[in-house]
């Protein structure tokens, strides 16, 4: 029998955006909710803000006024923490400080019944550490919502070292009954999302730091080619660099300075300057009144080729063939299983990036006019593609390949030769971190994909994405990145190595 029913009293501590949002989620599910905030009047303001938000849903016809009124009526503001005594579950959404959380939970243990479950919405503090000062640490669990809580589906259910497995199971079941997508995870730095997501920011920052592309172009490639809702620089500006940089530093330090999580000097400069992003009016982009967002680098129009020749399999990029044929370009196929898939356009050779410098790959294959192209989520739907020519490639070769992609409706961004380009290296690094989380028993592989889609709106789970790409291909990309940089940052997860070996 479930520990929680709709009659169970849910308490929320902290009436800010996150706390009020969690209260709304619980009230929508039919629970009586107690909302407490130490600041005088804050609980009522949180409820008032919830009512305003619901009124917009009513105006749009997405909720009836009767349902909105009933939901708000189920949330009761309380003025003292002792008023939370009847609660069956208390969810804390307060400041990210270990000492304050421990103090609040210590009070709750004195106030509430012995079987009351206490949940923390912490995004970065160890659940085990929070529980270390409690008498009933078995009742403590992480219940990590994502902002805005009423909209974002994911809830990370975090088990500390002492968390009762049944408590975690009950919170998982409760979250699902609230219409959420819960995932189980161990209390480790960053849990799932804040750990696995680090490469999304780190690789964009690294590409920009090396001068391969400007921020607007990198953002456009991740959006228009990779299918992400926002590029890394747009997203960091939205989150706030003070917050994003602090999380990166926290994960880096918690993993004993593992180079995979190395913070960026570029972002540190923004933080030091007080350029936190949208909230300060300036970050990577200028948000002041009248400021114009820079456009991504886009190649001028080039003539389309009359015909191309494809040798070998294009693998995940096979969808390009139909697009090329639909554009009226003659496609000649040469079956050859012994070579990597390639497209010959006049004197140019076009290949999907494999994590090497195009220049190095051109030298090894003795194809001086080699041009690498980037990974896309869906080549048929992508509106932009990146090209990285070898240093040896001629201008004519680049123009012929540019004209090919423009003929099939793609904007073309030519970037400098950088290993793995933009989308490919980002996706492979995200998947690698996901596999490493699985390998270290933080969660299972399904949880990684659910978490990244439900928590940060990724268009595809990173593990399922590299499965579609081909796990051995993704491993080659990582190995080539490792060879190019010579840094432990790009070491492949042992689980990825094992899976590729098992499929051989």
Q: Which residues pair with 143 in a beta bridge?
A: 157
Return d(Cα 61, Cα 59) in angstroms, integer: 5
Return d(Cα 493, Cα 437) in angstroms, integer: 9
pLDDT band at 124 (very low <50, low <70, confident <90, very high): confident
pLDDT band at 338 (very low <50, low <70, confident <90, very high): confident
Among 3.40.630.10, 3.40.50.720, 3.40.190.10, 3.40.50.1110, name the CATH number for the domain at 10-187. 3.40.50.720
Q: What is the phi/psi pair of residue 486, to 5°?
A: 65, 30
Q: In this predicted structure, what is the pLDDT of residue 503? A: 83
Active-site choice (144, 184, 241, 275): 144
Task: Just give the CATH number of 307-414.
Answer: 3.30.750.190
pLDDT band at 504 (very low <50, low <70, confident <90, very high): low
Average pLDDT over residues 140-166: 96
Check if 457 is active-site: no
Average pLDDT over residues 91-116: 95
Q: In this predicted structure, what is the pLDDT of residue 333? A: 92
Active-site choice (175, 194, 208, 250): 194
Return d(Cα 322, Cα 342) in angstroms, integer: 15
CB atoms within 10 A of CB 380: 12
Residues 279, 285, 288, 292, Cα dihedral to 10°: -150
Tell me, what DSSP letter sits at residue 88? S
Confidence check: pLDDT of 337 > 90: no
Q: In this predicted structure, what is the pLDDT of residue 305? A: 97
DSSP string, 167-233: HHHHHHHHHHHTT-EEEEEES-TTTTHHHHTHHHHHHHHHHHHTTSS-HHHHHHHHHHTT--SS-HH
Q: Which residues pair with 379 in a beta bridge?
A: none
Confidence check: pLDDT of 212 > 90: yes
Return d(Cα 82, Cα 34) in angstroms, integer: 11
**Percent of the chain beyond pLDDT 70?**
100
What residues have CB less than 8 Å from 95, skipping those under 6 apart? Answer: none
Examine domains 195-280 and 307-414 and report if their fold is the same: no
Active-site choice (87, 88, 123, 480): 123
Average pLDDT over residues 144-150: 94
Confidence check: pLDDT of 340 > 90: no
Mutual angle of helices 215-224 and 423-439, in 10-degree steps: 70
Is residue 152 reached through a cis peptide bond, with omega within 30 degrees of 0 on the bond before it?
A: no
Check if 144 is active-site: yes
Residue 415 and residue 212 in contact, taking contact as beta carbons nearer than 8 Å: yes
The three-state secondary structure class of 384 is strand
Return d(Cα 381, Cα 378) in angstroms, integer: 5
Q: In this predicted structure, what is the pLDDT of residue 1? A: 64
Tell me, what DSSP letter sits at residue 82? G
In our burial notation (b when 16+ CB lie closer than 10 A, e otherwise), range 468-478 reads: ebebebbbbbb
CA distances to 51, 128, 349, 357 from 363, rounded to whole Å, are 64, 53, 13, 10
HSE-up of residue 466 (Cα within 13 Å, Cβ side): 30
* Average of per-residue pLDDT values in the chain: 96
With 0-12 / 13-18 / 19 or more C-beta atoms within 10 angstroms meaning exposed / middle / buried, residue 417 is buried
Q: What is the pTM of this model?
A: 0.94
Domain ranges of the chain: 10-187, 195-280, 307-414
Q: In this predicted structure, what is the pLDDT of residue 384? A: 98
CATH number 2.30.110.10 is the correct assignment for the domain at 195-280: no
255-298 tens-digit pLDDT: 999 999 999 999 999 999 999 999 999 999 999 999 999 999 99
pLDDT band at 235 (very low <50, low <70, confident <90, very high): very high
18-33 tens-digit pLDDT: 999 999 999 999 999 9
169-187 tens-digit pLDDT: 999 999 999 999 999 999 9
Active-site choice (31, 139, 156, 159): 156
């Amino acid at each position: 029998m479930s520990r929680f029913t709709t009659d169970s009293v849910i308490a929320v501590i902290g009436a800010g955006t996150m706390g009020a949002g969690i209260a709304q989620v619980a009230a929508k599910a039919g629970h009586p909710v107690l909302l407490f905030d130490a600041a005088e009047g804050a609980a009522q303001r949180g409820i008032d803000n919830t009512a305003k938000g619901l009124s917009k849903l009513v105006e749009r016809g997405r909720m009836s006024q009767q349902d909105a009124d009933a939901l708000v009526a189920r949330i009761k503001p309380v003025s003292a923490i002792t008023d939370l005594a009847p609660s069956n579950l208390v969810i804390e959404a307060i400041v990210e400080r270990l000492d304050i959380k421990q103090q609040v939970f210590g009070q709750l243990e004195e106030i509430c019944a012995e079987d009351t479950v206490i949940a923390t919405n912490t995004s970065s503090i160890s659940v085990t550490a929070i529980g270390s000062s409690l008498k009933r640490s078995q009742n403590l669990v992480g219940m990590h919502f994502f902002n805005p809580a009423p909209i974002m589906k994911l809830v990370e259910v975090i088990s500390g070292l002492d968390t009762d497995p049944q408590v975690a199971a009950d919170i998982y079941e409760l979250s699902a009954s609230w219409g959420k997508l819960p995932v189980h995870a161990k209390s480790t730095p960053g849990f799932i999302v804040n750990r696995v997501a680090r490469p999304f920011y780190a690789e964009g920052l690294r590409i920009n730091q090396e001068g391969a592309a400007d921020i607007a172009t990198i953002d456009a490639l991740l959006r228009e080619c990779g299918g992400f809702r926002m590029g890394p620089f747009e997203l960091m500006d939205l989150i706030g660099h003070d917050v994003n940089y602090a999380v990166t530093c926290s994960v880096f330090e918690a993993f004993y300075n593992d180079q995979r999580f190395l913070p960026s000097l570029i972002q540190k400069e923004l933080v030091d300057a007080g350029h936190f992003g949208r909230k300060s009016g300036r970050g990577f982009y200028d948000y002041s009144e009248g400021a114009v967002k820079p456009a991504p680098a886009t190649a001028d129009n080039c003539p389309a080729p009359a015909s191309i020749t494809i040798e070998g399999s294009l693998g995940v990029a096979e969808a390009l063939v139909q697009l090329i044929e639909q554009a009226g370009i003659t496609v000649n196929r040469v079956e050859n299983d012994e070579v990597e898939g390639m497209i010959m356009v006049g004197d140019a050779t076009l290949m999907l990036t494999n994590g090497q410098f195009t220049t190095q790959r051109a030298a090894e294959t003795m194809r001086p006019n080699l041009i690498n192209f980037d990974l896309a989520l869906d080549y048929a739907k992508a509106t932009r593609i990146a090209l990285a020519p070898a240093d040896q490639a001629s201008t004519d070769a680049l123009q012929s390949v540019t004209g090919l992609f423009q003929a099939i409706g793609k904007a073309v961004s030519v970037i400098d030769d950088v290993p793995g380009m933009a989308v490919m290296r980002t996706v492979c690094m995200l998947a690698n971190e996901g596999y490493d989380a699985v390998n270290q028993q933080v969660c299972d592989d399904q949880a990684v994909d659910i978490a990244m889609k439900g928590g940060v709106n990724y268009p595809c789970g990173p593990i399922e994405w590299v499965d579609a790409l081909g796990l051995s291909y993704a491993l080659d990309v990582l190995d080539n990145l490792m060879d190019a940089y010579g840094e432990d940052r790009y070491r492949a997860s042992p689980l990825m190595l094992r899976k590729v070996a098992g499929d051989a």
